[in-house]
Amino acid sequence: MSGASFLQLTSVKNTCADFLKKRFNPNNVLGIRSFANTLDCTHLTDSADKYIQQYFSEVSTSEEFSSISGNELMDIVKRNELYVNFEEQVYEAVMRWIKKDLDNRKSLLPMLLAYVRLPLIDTSYLIDRISTDPIIKSSHECRDLIDEARDFHLMPDRRELLPSFKFEKRCCNHILGHIFAVGGLTKSGLTFSYYFIEKTLYISRNFYNILYFIGDSQSTVEVFDPVTGKWSKAEAMSMLRSRVGVAVMNNKLYAVGGYNGSERLSTAEVFNPTERVWSRVSSMHFNRSAVGAAALNNRLYVCGGYNGVKSLNTVECYIPERDEWNVITCMQKHRSAGGVIAFKDHIYALGGHDGLSIFDSVSVLSSGIFNFY
């Protein structure tokens, strides 16, 4: 490839680049990217960048990663397109790189930490792990960044003072998605409630953006591959559910409440895309169908719904590490069939009805205040 580049044999150079692209792996992609840069092979460099972004977690544990320069690492961690499940993965990658040659790299930590989106990190991890790290504690600039992240959670009114990238989740847009459909036909026709999941799930070395449909009293699941244009059967839920609440948290799909054809449900279950199985979790305090659900900051919120007699205004929160539900507050309106979504550290409950009136109102729950208004 070097000779083809020197002799300006473009077709030979491109063929060599295509050969290398097919052999990307987490242990060689950084080296290939560096090689491509020296030859000014733009399309090979771009392909290597996409691979690094898509497989950042694996690349960051490679031997090559520990040998890159500080400027190269900064270029990687500042990218919005990195695919990570949690921002903690970016922080841990930076710290591994620093500790590989602590004496020579310690001074670069403030520069690198400034591009880690600390406000997105779980507050317990931030306080118990990051702020207590001796390397962090020894740097005044690093301590300031930690304080900034704490203020983000403690003083929501000051968040607009932060650069916006610091609290925006990274998004790897070039990852190809699949569609999952859960539910199906009833005697009265085909009805679906649906939820678009922006989280990406890692399954058998492929990434999936997924769209879930939950239908009337059906447990069946199908998956659509947009590349082949074909549907295939997937794992079914453990029970029949219609008008069910669905949300994704920690790359797992939760199905909560609903109607099984005879009664409203308080049960909940979760789909693990790695093991490809549904598992039961603790039941909610209230039976709910036509319920809205959304996940925010490692918590699952369900809002309103219908218990078979009346619409509900109660809000429950699921804590996965404890496998428990807590009733945290009530909405001003009894709201069933409302849309519920998490956006920029708030939960929004939109529309719906109470059995008498259809609403155009919106209720907002702040994760820091836990109070609808």
Per-domain boundaries in the chain: 2-167, 179-366
Higher pLDDT, 17 or 369: 17
Mean pLDDT of the chain: 83
Q: Which of 9-13, 100-104, 194-198, 359-363 has the lowest mean pLDDT?
A: 194-198
Closest to 347 measured CA to CA, from 359, 363, 323: 363
Higher pLDDT, 280 or 241: 280
pLDDT of residue 370: 44
Token duo for residue 306: 């219908």
Give 252's strand partners: 249
pLDDT of residue 174: 66
Using the structure block, give the residue that is written with the tokens 């790189």: 97
For residues 293 and 310, the answer to whether their CB atoms sit within 8 Å is no
For residues 271 and 319, the answer to whether their CB atoms sit within 8 Å is no
pLDDT of residue 200: 36
Closest to 138 measured CA to CA, from 112, 111, 107: 107
Enter the CATH code of domain 179-366.
Answer: 2.120.10.80
pLDDT of residue 192: 44
pTM: 0.57
Using the structure block, give the residue that is written with the tokens 């895309």: 273
pLDDT of residue 194: 41
Closest to 347 measured CA to CA, from 289, 297, 307, 311: 297
Tell me: pLDDT of 143 over 50: yes
Tell me: pLDDT of 229 over 70: yes
Tell me: pLDDT of 196 over 70: no
Q: Where does the pLDDT of residue 168 fall: very low under 50, low under 70, confident under 90, or very high at 90 and above?
A: confident
Model pLDDT for residues 270-314, shown as the tens digit of each residue? 988 778 899 999 999 999 999 999 998 889 999 999 999 999 999
What mean pLDDT comes out for the span 165-170?
Answer: 81
Pick the CATH number of 2-167 from 2.60.40.10, 3.40.50.620, 1.25.40.420, 1.10.3720.10: 1.25.40.420
Tell me: pLDDT of 209 over 50: no
Tell me: pLDDT of 373 over 70: no
pLDDT of residue 214: 47
pLDDT of residue 111: 96
Spell out the SS3 assignment of the chain. CHHHHHCCCHHHHHHHHHHHHCCCCCCCHHHHHHHHHHCCCHHHHHHHHHHHHHCHHHHCCCCCHHHCCHHHHHHHHCCCCCCCCCCHHHHHHHHHHHHHCHHHHHHHHHHHHCCCCHHHCCHHHHHHHHCCCHHHHCCHHHHHHHHHHHHHHHCHHHHHHCCHHHHCCCCCCCCCCCEEEECCEECCEECEEEEEEEEEEEECCEEEEEEEEEECCECCEEEEECCCCEEEEECCCCCCEECCEEEEECCEEEEECCECCCCECCCEEEEECCCCEEEEECCCCCCCECCEEEEECCEEEEECCECCCCECCEEEEEECCCCEEEEEEECCCCCECCEEEEECCEEEEECCECCCCECCCEEEEECCCCCEC
pLDDT of residue 367: 56
Tell me: pLDDT of 24 over 60: yes
CA distance 22 to 4: 19
Identify the sign of the CA torsion 360, 297, 271, 309. Answer: negative
